[in-house]
Structure formats: C-alpha cells, structure tokens
Structure 1
Amino acid sequence: MSMAFAGFNRRLGRRVFFAAPFALAAGTALAQGSDVKFKRSSLVVATGGRDLKFEVDMATNDTERSHGLMFRKSLGPYEGMLFDFHQELPVSFWMKNTLIPLDMIFIAADGTIRHIHSNAVPLSTDTIPSKFPVRGVLEINGGSAKLLGIKPGDKVRHAIFGNA
C-alpha cells in the first residue's frame, strides 16, 4: 500500500499531497517495532452475479492510511485493506515499502468501482492516481481483480458506502 496520497482540499481549493515527511516517520516507527493496529471488517464485491466476501483492515485516519500495507509479506486470497477518505476526492498512491504487488480498486461514495489499477509494482515510488474522485480504495493481491472478474461498474457493499 501506499504511504502517500493526494487529495483535493475543498476548503483551501488546491491539491494537497501528504507524503515524504509523514511517510518516513511511519516507516521509521514500524522499523522500530511499533506497528499500526487496524480494525477488521467485512465487505462484499458484487460482480458477474456473484458476491465475493473479503476480510479487510480499515485505514480510516492519516496514520493508518500512511502506513497501509507497508512491509506485509503476504495477503490471503480474500483479504485486503479498505482506505476510507470520508468524502469523495482525487487520491494517489505509491508502493514505497510495500513488498507485494497489489490491485488498487478505486470506489465512489455509492460503492461503484470507478477504476482499477492492476499489479502495482512493489517498492515503486511512481504515483498511481484514482483518475476520478473516490470515497475509498480497496487493495487486494495483485492480479486478483482480473482473476475474480472484478471490473469498473461493479458494486462494493460496506458501511462506509451506506449500502452494507
């Protein structure tokens, strides 16, 4: 997962990039043994007439979103992380300190999948933009979205989208 994301700050009317200093601090804290604790939740992706249930860690604040899936060595086939930005806004991710390839599923406030970035490259600092304003991002194992038939237009059901 990403250590950085960008969002549109409506109050200031400009793009804001939360990045390096905060990210470095998060990486240093983890390296020193203090791990971020995430709440777990279930969500469903409705695709192709099927409901796919995932168990996800929730990243709901800046500390959790900055840490994300950094330093994880594996995810189960139906595990992931759901990032909640609490409003729709453009976001970007990077893979610095992320050891496994990930699919990033960008989700609108109503739970509709807007865009999927497949197989994000581990340890890359290239930015991966949402392409559209989104409320949340679901990260799962790289290649899983294609394997499971998950595509833009499918629906994600979870409490943050008001459709659980």
Structure 2
Amino acid sequence: MLRERLRECGFMLVAGLAVVLAACGSADAGVRGTDAGGNGEQAAEAGAGAAAQAVELVPLRVGGIEIQVEVADDADERQRGLMYRESLAENQGMLFVYPEQRILGFWMRNTLIPLDIAYIDREGRIVDIQQMEPQTTETHDSAAPAMYALEMNQGWFEANGIRIGDLIEF
C-alpha cells in the first residue's frame, strides 16, 4: 500500500528495490513540532496513539548499510515525527519527505530519545548531519537546502562511518 502511495505521489522504482524520491505531499511549517494554534494536547494524543499502531517500514541503504525507515510524507506525519517514542530499534529511523528542497529546521520538543539527523538533498546526497538532544526546543537548521531528513538513534551515523557527501540509496 505504501509503495502504491509513493507511486501516486511521483515516486518511481529504479533497479527493482531502489526508489528515487520525487516531490510529493503538502507544504508545512519549516520546523517540525511547531504547535500551530496551540494544539500541543492534540499532538500528544496523536503521538501516543501513533506509537501503539503498527508501523510500515521501507528499506533504504546508507553507506552500504540497509536500514528500515518509517516515511513521513505529509504535514501531520512530519509534525508528529518520533515524538513520544521511548525507543527506536537499531538500524531503524524515520525519513521525512518534503515537497521541495529548502533549508529545513527540526526540534526535539516531546521527543524522548536522543537522535541524529541527516539532511539530504534532492539527489540523495547528505548535506548535513547533526546531533539532537531530547525534549529541547533548540532548532537544528540544515546547513544547506534539503528535501529529505533522516532521523536515527544518536551516534548511528558516526558509528557507521556515514559522512556529509555520502549518498542515500532510496
């Protein structure tokens, strides 16, 4: 079902398993987690419920390492992100997909686990990697325009030798 949704949004399959991401979804605020209109309680309820639901994972390769990611490709999914989660399995993460390339900003409000974030341009190249501490409102802006953001457990990119300039195989 997710692959059908991705195709409808302009995603195309390349070489069987590789997916080249194209622009899709609705525009939203530049900072994930922004409580537009003060709906923090609604976000908390949605976040808690989302953690209990079954999650569909999609395979990606980062530096030759296969990982499994949840895809957040609409405004609600991007805003909720990994909020209220108590853990994230090894080699699992969340890929945020934006409709256009731009400077992206993330914060960790209501996010309970320390994360790393890799900002990725439309060609799939990592343009920035940052560490983010849990439950903070410090904004982590991408160093360059990005169309995707990949959140993994803190230290994952360094432990696996992933650096700025590396390619993500979608």
* Stretches of structure 2 lacking an aligned partner (at least 5 in a row): 1-27
Within 5 A, what are the aligned runs for 1:120-159? Answer: 120-158=132-170
- How many pairs are equivalent? 139
| Deviation of the 1:19 alpha carbon | 1.9
1:75 aligns to 2:88 (yes or no): yes
Query: Residue 41 of structure 1: which of 58, 63, 70 is its match?
Result: 58
Instruction: Compute the TM-score of the two structures, normalised by the length of structure 1.
Output: 0.77
Amino acid of the structure 2 residue aligned with 1:112:
R
| Deviation of the 1:5 alpha carbon | 5.3
The residue that corresponds to 1:6 in the other structure is 30
| Deviation of the 1:30 alpha carbon | 3.3
Within 5 A, what are the aligned runs for 1:29-68? Answer: 29-31=46-48, 34-35=49-50, 39-46=56-63, 51-68=64-81
> Helix, strand or coil: the match of 1:153?
coil
> Helix, strand or coil: the match of 1:97?
coil
Task: Give CA deviations for 1:88-120 in whole Å, capped at 9, x if unaligned.
Answer: 1111000001011000000000000000002x1
Distance 2:82 2:92 in 1: 11
* Stretches of structure 1 lacking an aligned partner (at least 5 in a row): 8-16, 159-164
The residue that corresponds to 2:36 in the other structure is 21
Greater fraction strand = 1
Change (3 A) 1:18 1:135: same
Structure 1 stretches of 4+ with a deviation exceeding 6 A read none
The RMSD of aligned alpha carbons is 2.1
Instruction: Compute the TM-score of the two structures, normalised by the length of structure 2.
Output: 0.75
Give yes or no for contact 2:47–2:83 (8 Å, CA) kept in 1: no
% identity of equivalent residues: 33
The residue that corresponds to 2:9 in the other structure is none
> Helix, strand or coil: the match of 2:57?
strand
| Deviation of the 1:138 alpha carbon | 0.4
